């Protein structure tokens, strides 16, 4: 029996794609194994968002080749369409697979054809995934991006935005809840630009989609990621605030607090627009957790412009910020600008933003002390003191840690009384 191994780097979209690849290969009778050195096929799901992720991939391939002479390597993900990467890896990859060509993979690997003759024309999202977890699932609502932020490789790597029909999304969500899943995360590069249409021509936007999915009965949570500030409507904020299953967690990337830098990034909003959205979210959902992405050291970013990012962070009082040092990506508009902020300054700016984050996150977390919060447990591990420590997420996406008596709680909702808070986790005692 032929075997495969999947190696995934990068975002939740890549993780979700790997679940569809797993389902697809199992449909062809292949078995997944953990060791790439013993597999017939390795599927490499790549990320090209930052140079560091790319470098990691270049380092892996020669090792696999040396240890496994008969191995076939399939490269998919963000590097599959990049000509410069193809040049660099000439002769080292057996199949280059843009993810939307997944239905053609069977042929490319010489696997026995499955299903009917229309099979090759199916879209990749219509293949049934084999989810990694049995309680939390990423549910893709589309793929690609039309925004062309000047620093970002995604529109080139994943192509233009394609939205999945809302009926397909609803039926995948219904099937997940029926199977007992406790958490569904609607994902896309930009969920809130989602559009689908009904037979009568009526448009279904992201807020409408959330409302429809939210109708499914049961004890489960609905999340979404990631959203763009220019498409964050009041209708969506209210829908999330009012939903029965919707978690009060908003991740939407600011990228910078300086209007000139935002313009050069082609983000199409101002810092004021971003902060007004934060106010709106806090108005409709006062307890919501808010997180963002910020890039430091964009070409030409002066101290004054960087200070505007600090001011934005101080005003928004984020619970989490994913800070990246700018790195030029081949083919993007900003790659033509001089990458003139030194590594040292980028590192220093990242540290300064992290200091602000730690302060606001810790202050925000004080409100949890003494509260009882509902937690979806995702891990139970033995500590050095030989205790079992469970960790999970609250509805507003706080990491919660507490001691338990057995491992059986993974994938379950429990109640935890919070007794201690830190910047990026809150701690408590198991209630029930």
Give residues 173-192 in contact with ligand SAM (rule: CB under 6 A): 189-190
Residue span 187-206 as binding mask against ligand SF4, x where in contact by CB under 6 A, dash where not: --xx----------------
Rounded to a whole number of angstroms, the minimum distance from the CB of residue 293 to ligand SAM is 3
In angstroms, what is the minimal distance from the CB of 155 to ligand SF4? 5
In whole angstroms, the minimum distance from the beta carbon of 154 to ligand SF4 comes to 4
> Which one-letter DSSP state was computed for residue 131?
-
Q: Print the binding letters for residues 39-58 with ligand SAM: x by CB under 6 A, - otherwise.
A: ----------xx--------
CB of 58 to ligand SAM, least distance (A): 18
**What proportions of the chain, in percent to the nearest 5, are helix, strand and coil?**
40, 25, 35
Report the partner that residue 329 touches, choosing among ligand SF4, ligand SAM, none (CB closer than 5 to 8 A by kind).
Answer: ligand SAM
**Residue 141 CB, nearest approach to ligand SF4 (Å):** 14
Distance, CA of 137 to CA of 20 (rounded, Å) = 12
Which one of ligand SF4, ligand SAM, none is in contact with 349 (Cβ closer than 5 to 8 A by kind)? none
Q: Does 145 bind ligand SF4 (CB under 6 A)?
A: yes
Here the tokens at position 6 are: 């999947």
Provide, rounded to whole angstroms, the least separation between the CB of residue 151 and ligand SF4. Answer: 7
Told to check if 346 binds ligand SAM by CB under 6 A, we report no
Residue 324 touches which member of ligand SAM, ligand SF4, none, C-beta under 5-8 Å by kind:
ligand SAM
Nearest C-alpha neighbor of 123 from the set 101, 144, 147, 92 = 101
Which residue number, 125 or 149, has a Cβ lying nearer to ligand SF4? 149
Q: Exposed, middle or buried: residue 214 (CB in 10 Å: 0-12, 13-18, 19+)?
A: middle
Distance, in Å, from the CA atom of 412 to the CA atom of 278, rounded to the nearest integer, reads 31
Please identify, using beta-carbon distances, which residue of 266 and 391 lies nearer to ligand SF4: 266
When the beta carbons of 85 and 154 are compared against ligand SF4, the nearer one is 154
256 belongs to the binding site for ligand SAM (CB under 6 A): no
Q: Does 226 bind ligand SAM (CB under 6 A)?
A: yes
- In the bound state with ligand SF4, the residue whose beta carbon lies nearer, of 36 and 142, is 142
Supply the DSSP string of 285-338, one letter for each residue.
-TT-EEEEEEEE--TT--HHHHHHHHHHHHHHT-SEEEEEE----TTSSGGGS-
Largest distance between two CA atoms of the chain: 62
Give one DSSP letter per residue of 31-72, joined into a string: EE-S-GGG-SEEEEEE--SSHHHHHHHHHHHHHHHHH-TT-E
Q: Which of 154, 247, 312, 357 binds ligand SF4 (CB under 6 A)?
A: 154
Indicate which single residue of 95, 99, 152, 400 sits in contact with ligand SAM (rule: CB under 6 A). 152
From residue 27, how far is each of 21, 71, 137 by CA, in Å?
10, 20, 20
Q: Say what the alpha-carbon torsion angle 155, 158, 159, 164 is, to the nearest 10 degrees.
A: -110
149 near ligand SF4, rule: CB under 6 A:
yes
Q: Given candidates 82, 228, 245, 401, which one binds ligand SAM under the rule CB under 6 A?
A: 228
Tell me how far apart the alpha carbons of residues 347 and 345 are, in angstroms, rounded to a whole number: 5
C-alpha dihedral (270, 231, 399, 390), degrees to nearest 10:
-160
Collapsing DSSP to helix, strand or coil, 148 comes out as: coil
155 touches, from ligand SF4, ligand SAM, none (C-beta below 5 to 8 Å by class)? ligand SF4
Select from 39-47, 69-77, 146-154, 202-210 the region that touches ligand SF4 (CB under 6 A): 146-154
* Closest to ligand SF4 by CB, 154 or 177: 154
Is the Cα torsion angle 57, 326, 15, 114 positive or negative in sign? negative
Bridge partners of residue 185, in order along the sequence: 138, 223
DSSP 195: E
Contact call for residue 324 and ligand SAM (CB under 6 A): yes
- State which of positions 272-301 bind ligand SAM (CB under 6 A): 293, 295
CB of 104 to ligand SF4, least distance (A): 25
Q: Quick count: other Cβ atoms within 10 Å of Cβ 107?
A: 12
Which chain residues interact with ligand SAM by CB under 6 A?
11, 49-50, 151-152, 154, 189-190, 226, 228, 253, 255, 293, 295, 324, 326-327, 329
Which chain residues interact with ligand SF4 by CB under 6 A?
145, 147-149, 152, 154-155, 189-190, 228
């Amino acid at each position: 029996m032929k075997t495969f191994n999947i190696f995934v780097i990068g975002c939740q979209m890549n993780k979700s794609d790997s679940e569809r690849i797993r389902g697809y290969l199992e449909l062809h009778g292949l078995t997944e194994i953990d060791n790439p050195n013993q597999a017939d096929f390795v599927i490499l799901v790549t990320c090209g968002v930052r140079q560091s992720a790319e470098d990691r991939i270049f380092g892996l391939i020669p090792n696999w080749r040396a240890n496994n002479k008969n191995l076939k390597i399939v490269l998919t993900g963000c590097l599959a369409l990049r000509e410069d990467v193809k040049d660099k890896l000439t002769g080292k990859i057996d199949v280059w697979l843009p993810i939307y060509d997944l239905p053609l993979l069977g042929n490319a690997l010489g696997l026995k054809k499955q299903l009917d003759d229309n099979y090759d024309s199916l879209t990749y999202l219509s293949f049934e995934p084999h989810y990694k977890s049995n309680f939390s699932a990423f549910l893709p609502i589309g793929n690609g991006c039309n925004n062309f932020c000047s620093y970002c490789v995604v529109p080139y790597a994943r192509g233009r935005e394609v939205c999945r029909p809302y009926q397909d999304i609803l039926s995948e969500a219904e099937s997940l809840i029926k199977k007992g899943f406790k958490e569904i995360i609607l994902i896309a590069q930009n969920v809130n630009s989602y559009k689908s249409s009904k037979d009568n021509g009526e448009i279904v936007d992201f807020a409408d989609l959330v409302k429809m999915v939210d109708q499914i009965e049961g004890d489960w949570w609905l999340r979404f990621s990631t959203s763009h500030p220019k498409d964050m409507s009041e209708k969506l904020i209210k829908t999330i605030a009012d939903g029965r299953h919707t978690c009060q967690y908003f991740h939407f990337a600011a990228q910078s607090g300086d209007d000139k830098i935002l313009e050069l990034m082609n983000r199409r909003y101002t810092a004021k627009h971003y902060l007004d959205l934060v106010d709106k979210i806090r108005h409709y959902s006062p307890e919501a957790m808010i997180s963002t992405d910020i890039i430091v050291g964009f070409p030409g970013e002066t101290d004054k412009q960087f200070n505007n990012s600090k001011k934005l962070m101080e005003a928004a009082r984020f619970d989490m910020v994913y800070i990246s040092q700018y790195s030029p990506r081949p083919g993007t508009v900003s790659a033509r600008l001089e990458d003139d902020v030194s590594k040292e300054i980028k590192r220093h700016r990242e540290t300064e933003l992290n200091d602000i984050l730690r302060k606001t996150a810790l202050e925000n977390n004080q409100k949890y002390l003494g509260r009882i919060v509902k937690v979806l447990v995702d891990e139970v591990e033995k500590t050095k003191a030989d205790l079992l420590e469970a960790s999970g997420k609250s509805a507003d996406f706080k990491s919660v840690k507490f001691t338990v008596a057995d491992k059986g709680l993974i994938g379950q909702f429990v109640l935890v009384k919070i007794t201690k808070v830190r910047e990026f986790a809150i701690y408590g005692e198991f209630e029930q």
